Amino acid sequence: MISDVNIKVKRDLCYACGICVDRCIMDNLRLSLAPCRQACPIDMNCQGYVRLIAQDREKEAAEELRRYTPFGAILGRVCSHPCEAVCERRDTDGPVHIRALKRYLADSYPEISRHILPLAPDTGLGVAIVGSGPSGLTAAYELRQKGHRVRVLESAPEPGGLLRYGIPSFRLPEDTVKRTVATLEEMGVSFQTGKDVGQDLELDRLESEADAVILATGAGPSKKLNLPGMNLSGALQGLDLLRRVREGNAPSLGKSAIVIGGGNSAVDAALTCRRLGVAEVRMVCLEDPSQMPAFALELEEAREEGVVIDNCWGPTRLVPKENGQMEIEFSRCLSLFDDQGCFRPILEQACGLRFSTDSIVLAVGQEVKADAVPEYLLDPSTKRLAADSMTRQSLIREKIFACGDCHSGAGSVVEAMASGREAAISADRFLRGEGLHWGRGNGDGCIKEYEVDRSRAKGGKRGKLSRLAVEERTLHLEVERTLSSYEARVEAERCLSCGRAAEANRTCWYCLPCEIECPVKALEVRMPYLVR
Ligand SMILES: Cc1cc2nc3c(=O)[nH]c(=O)nc-3n(C[C@H](O)[C@H](O)[C@H](O)COP(=O)(O)OP(=O)(O)OC[C@H]3O[C@@H](n4cnc5c(N)ncnc54)[C@H](O)[C@@H]3O)c2cc1C
Ligand code: SF4
Ligand code: SF4
């Protein structure tokens, strides 16, 4: 499919922006997507901003990033970076640090990162969004951009959802979230905090006041385990611990803590315990090391900070001890999944591991709790809003849409943002009386085929991210540092620039808007009958 017969693309210059593909009236061009971009839930042109950094065109790189999202500083810190998992360089000398480069741009060019793009003319229509986590913030941004009035209702004292009250500030500083919310406020989004929909205000009333409603209420509180002794006072829920720390109301945990769970929230809870001064912290989980859902970098940080990890154990009971401590018992986990691949751990009968501890923190996931939604709008099997899987529109009330973890179950920040964007597209179309399914799920101007030419990139291993020394780490100081401009340049030069514009259909009429509008003059139309 990738062809250069009539259209010649200079690979060194092209940064796969796709403008030429948009401009071609003959449907001749396709954008061949780099694997990093194919993997990005918000379709970010990662290759584009990486390539521009490598060419020392950093301002344009920051603008390319901003074209896709105003949340670069957040994603640059906590994105689960599915792009890096598929980066073409992963099997040679390590994937390009796409996430860290995003952070570099957002931190180095804050005025571009927070730039307000022109808003569409006011439609006079209003949307209410319930919940201000990444999905709600993204839906608010997209709908305001499209000219609607947007009101966000949030039950917590401050906006941000898990960005504000879940992820610890040593990974995502409070200021980063505040500045992003401030940008949305400057655009005209209004935030009403301390407003619990379902308690302070009924969804029915909200629905009658607004032209459309988006539910972005998250996955719910920490999942509980029905174990004997789980009601003891030293047994805490992981999300409660993290929220209390971010509210400045940390509980006292004693000298030892056992964290149950193997995901990011368990690691965050374990690292938080260490920073609260707990001398002995253990994480115990069902999974073996290769199955643990936590990011590798987070696990490395936990080990560096002295957290001991015990794999393949499941808790069975807690027993109070006379000295105020608790004893917790674990049995060997024999298998995690059943024959159908469903999560159904089987534990050995006998107790195989026993610890005495001052505190226990349960971080085994989140429980669905759709407080805002009346029972008749819920899917009885999932207990989530019954909604169309593509448009996210309620199957019962056409004005209501759902997005983020409350729609899909616990996921990641970037997935929640992608979901918020889809819900916003649907709500906007609904408000304009357009079809919600139209043009979605079909092909676009892109192909998944790409070309790798290793000769253009510089050699060298994936760089090491600079982090605070273990003894300098505190509850609030950010551990990872922003790349220096030299580090950013060296890292970006490793990119192979896998994607590019390409001729697909041989329908060229030599009309030239593609060539004229290419911002970097990377494209040349070869006219057989004309010497230029
Ligand atoms: C400890 C922890 C660490 C994580 N770390 C990462 C990470 O590093 N990278 C990553 O990609 N993902 C991470 N995640 C996952 C990520 O944070 C979530 O997937 C994401 O925040 C989901 O976004 P959301 O908008 O759907 O919901 P949330 O962020 O949960 O926000 C929902 C909001 O809705 C509000 N709300 C709920 N009910 C009501 C109501 N009735 N009325 C008004 N408001 C209401 C809540 O108060 C909350 O503010 C982490 C999760 C946890 C728990
Ligand atoms: S080498 Fe560059 S373009 Fe290719 S996948 Fe990696 S970051 Fe993307
Ligand atoms: S050829 Fe130019 S316009 Fe087309 S994708 Fe590449 S940089 Fe963009």
Calculate the alpha carbon distances from 321 to 115, 326, 327, 356 in Å: 58, 5, 7, 8
> Ligand 3 within 6 A of 520 CB?
yes
Q: Exposed, middle or buried, 207 (CB in 10 Å: 0-12/13-18/19+)?
A: middle
By most ligand atoms within 8 Å of CB, the mutation choice from 500, 508, 525 for ligand 3 is 500
Instruction: Read off the pLDDT band of 455 (50, 70, 90).
Output: confident
pLDDT at 531: 59
Tens of pLDDT, residues 183-239: 999 999 999 999 999 999 899 999 999 999 999 999 988 888 888 888 888 889 999
> Ligand 1 within 6 A of 197 CB?
yes
Tens of pLDDT, residues 94-142: 999 999 999 999 999 999 999 999 999 999 999 999 999 999 999 999 9
CA 503–ligand 1 middle distance (angstroms): 42
Question: 10 Å Cβ neighbour count for 321?
Answer: 10
CA 46–ligand 2 middle distance (angstroms): 8
> Ligand 1 within 6 A of 418 CB?
no
Nearest to 400 by CA among 193, 191, 204: 204
Length of the chain: 532
pLDDT at 527: 84
- The token pair at 139 is 């839906």
| Residue recorded with tokens 């003319």 | 121
Q: Relative to the alpha carbon of 15, which ligand is closest?
A: 3
> Ligand 1 within 6 A of 162 CB?
yes
Contact 238, 167 (CB under 8 A): no
Which homologous superfamily is 235-362 in?
FAD/NAD(P)-binding domain (3.50.50.60)
pLDDT at 532: 61
CA 211–ligand 3 middle distance (angstroms): 39
Q: For residues 166-194, give the mean pLDDT.
A: 97
Q: Whose CA is nearest to atom 14 of ligand 1?
A: 412
Tens of pLDDT, residues 359-397: 999 999 898 888 888 889 999 988 889 999 999 999 999
Considering the entire predicted model, what is its pTM?
0.95
Which residues are paired to 357 by β-bridges?
A: 326
Alpha helices in 374-483 (DSSP H): 405-408, 413-432
> Ligand 1 within 6 A of 135 CB?
yes
> Ligand 3 within 6 A of 522 CB?
yes
Answer yes or no: is pLDDT of 311 > 90.
yes
Rounded percentage of the chain residues whose pLDDT exceeds 90: 82
Where does 126-220+368-432 sit in CATH, by number? 3.50.50.60
- CATH architecture classification, 7-114+443-525: Orthogonal Bundle (1.10)
Output the average pLDDT for the chain: 94
> Ligand 2 within 6 A of 35 CB?
yes
Atom of ligand 2 nearest to the CA of 452: 4
CA 83–ligand 3 middle distance (angstroms): 21
Atom of ligand 1 nearest to the CA of 403: 26
CA 509–ligand 1 middle distance (angstroms): 50
More confident residue, 146 or 455: 146
Supply the DSSP symbol for 48. Answer: H
> Ligand 2 within 6 A of 491 CB?
no
- The token pair at 301 is 């940080």
pLDDT at 371: 84
- The token pair at 76 is 């640059």
Ordered by start, the domain boundaries in the chain are 7-114+443-525, 126-220+368-432, 235-362
Instruction: Read off the pLDDT band of 494 (50, 70, 90).
Output: very high
Question: 10 Å Cβ neighbour count for 316?
Answer: 21
User: Which of 57-66, 179-188, 453-462, 464-473 is least confident?
Assistant: 453-462
Supply the DSSP symbol for 285. Answer: -
| Residue recorded with tokens 């047994």 | 235
Q: Exposed, middle or buried, 114 (CB in 10 Å: 0-12/13-18/19+)?
A: middle
User: Which of 166-170, 271-275, 427-431, 526-530 is least confident?
Assistant: 526-530
Instruction: Read off the pLDDT band of 530 (50, 70, 90).
Output: low
pLDDT at 131: 97
Domains 7-114+443-525 and 235-362 equal at CATH topology level: no
Tens of pLDDT, residues 284-310: 999 999 999 998 889 999 999 999 999
All residues at 6 or more sequence positions from 43 whose CB lies less than 8 Å from its CB, including other chains? 37, 68
